[in-house]
Amino acid sequence: MPVKNRFAELQDEITAWRRDLHEHPEILYDTLRTSAVVAEKLQEFGCDEVVTGIGRTGVVGVIKGKASGSGKVIGLRADMDALPIVEATGLPYASKTPGAMHACGHDGHTAMLLGAAKYLAETRNFDGTVVVIFQPAEEGGAGGKEMCDDGLMDRWGIQEVYGMHNWPGLPTGQFSIRPGAFFAGTDQFDIYFEGKGGHAARPHETVDTAVMAAQAVTALQTIASRNADPVGQVVVSVTSFETSSKAFNVIPQKAHLKGTVRTMSKEIRELAEERIKAICAGVAATYGGTVEVQYHPGYPVMANTKEQTEFAADVARKVSGQCEDAPMVMGGEDFAFMLEERPGAYILLGNGPGAMVHHPEYNFNDEAIPAGCSWWAEIVEQRMPAA
């Protein structure tokens, strides 16, 4: 089964929505215009219910099938937010908001899910209920968590959730997925060393925090190389090293390290946190200083459930002929919060050649729209078939 004819017909219209969203990017929870556009279209399509303000600026639309005897409810989720990047595409519909850009293709995700909603409201060829979920603040603001905390799953009785992200480098309109851990848990840390500052020519009278912090940067690398099982995945990156001294001849009283931890399992995530604290405490004690470690949990590991992944891959193969096995991605994805609450699957949709997401020259590929929309529609029609 190739892409649905209806989406080939709707492609120009959906492309126009996508380009309009691209011109008007909004960051984190400030998706006021985007949310209004989404809600207005969902009303226009004849959704049975449209609710705004879920997870601050999130929007939910409900579409009932021609039958509801199955009692099934499926959630389909798209993200709406842009990034604080200065766009360098030179496109005629480039961002009109200085310093904001749809550099992750969430304009395409929103437009494709709107296209699917239009089709599903038109045809209703399924037995059950679809909940279309449009979330703000995927890029670091945990908008997915905010929507879940607002009772998204229980309020509409959602039983399974599906998500999709475009992927540059994967052939246009093709799909790629993996069961289990897929996107990394992403945490951050601040490490504050305190010693005793003093004259750089009289080090014996000081407790040097620059030496402590330097030792810690090196020692933290042993979490990946000597603590974690080599088969498990973990990245510990120290990305900022600052001391309280700006002079050539002053030993700093304080040093501050910042960084990120990426993991693919709860166990290794907990191990990394514990080891960072232990290593830093050990280093500080060794050199006679003190340390405070602040560990900030971010997005959890995003893990697809087996049954829903197999189903999602099967649908993808029917839409585009094949579905590749995806490698793990060490980036984070806040659909993880929805997958912590319900079984489901997250799939990658080929964006073709070109710049990677988060690059100032990235652009969503409108040629992927029919495949993306078809996947959404088929997920619904095949998971909840009408009699």
Query: Rounded distance, CA 44 to CA 37, Å?
Result: 11
Least distance (Å) between residue 103 CB and Zn ion: 7
Binding segment for Zn ion (CB under 5 A), chosen from 98-106, 218-226, 229-237, 370-378, is: 98-106
CB of 333 to Zn ion, least distance (A): 7
To the nearest whole angstrom, how small is the minimum distance from the Cβ of residue 275 to Zn ion? 28
What letter represents residue 57's amino acid? T
> What totals of helices (H) and strands (E) does the chain contain, helices first?
11, 16
Residue with Cβ nearer Zn ion (29 or 156)? 29
Question: Rule CB under 5 A: which of 290-329 touch Zn ion?
Answer: none
CB 360 within 8 A of CB 85: yes
Q: What is the per-residue DSSP string for 254-294?
A: EEEEEEEEEESSHHHHHHHHHHHHHHHHHHHHHHT-EEEEE
DSSP-based three-state secondary structure for 133: strand
| Residue number, 104 or 220, with CB nearest to Zn ion | 104
Sign of CA dihedral 272, 275, 281, 287: negative
Toward Zn ion, which CB reaches closer, 79 or 208? 79
- Name which of residues 205 to 264 contact Zn ion (CB under 5 A): none
Question: Rounded to the nearest whole angstrom, what is the least distance from the CB of residue 106 to Zn ion in the complex?
Answer: 6
- Closest chain position to Zn ion (CB): 104
CA distance 163 to 382: 16
Choose between 104 and 216: whose C-beta lies nearer to Zn ion: 104
Instruction: Give the number of residues in contact with Zn ion, rule: CB under 5 A.
Output: 1
Q: Compare residues 155 and 358 and give the one whose CB is closer to Zn ion.
A: 358
* 3-state secondary structure (DSSP) of residue 379: helix
What is the 3 state secondary structure string of 228-246? Answer: CCCCCCEEEEEEEEEECCC
Q: How far is the CB of 87 from Zn ion (least distance, A)?
A: 15
**In angstroms, what is the minimal distance from the CB of 109 to Zn ion?**
8
Q: Which of 81, 163, 115, 133 is nearest to 348 (CA)?
A: 163
104 forms part of the interface with Zn ion (CB under 5 A):
yes
Choices 6-14, 30-38, 96-104, 290-298 (CB under 5 A): range interacting with Zn ion: 96-104
Nearer to Zn ion, 104 or 349 (CB): 104
* 3-state class (DSSP) for residue 302: strand
CB of 100 to Zn ion, least distance (A): 13
**Angle at CA of residue 233, ends 232 and 237, nearest 5°:** 145
Q: Smaller CB distance to Zn ion: residue 47 or 104? A: 104
Query: Pattern of binders to Zn ion over 145-164, x per CB under 5 A?
Result: --------------------
Name the segment binding Zn ion (CB under 5 A); options: 99-107, 230-238, 272-280, 299-307. 99-107
Based on CB atoms, which residue is closest to Zn ion, 196 or 359? 359
CA–CA dist 209, 202 (Å, integer): 14
Q: Which residues contact 298 (CB under 8 A, 6 or more apart)?
A: 140, 142, 185, 186, 187, 188, 332
Candidates 104-112, 143-151, 215-223, 346-354 — which segment interacts with Zn ion by CB under 5 A?
104-112
Q: Does 348 bind Zn ion (CB under 5 A)?
A: no
Q: Which residues bind Zn ion (CB under 5 A)?
A: 104
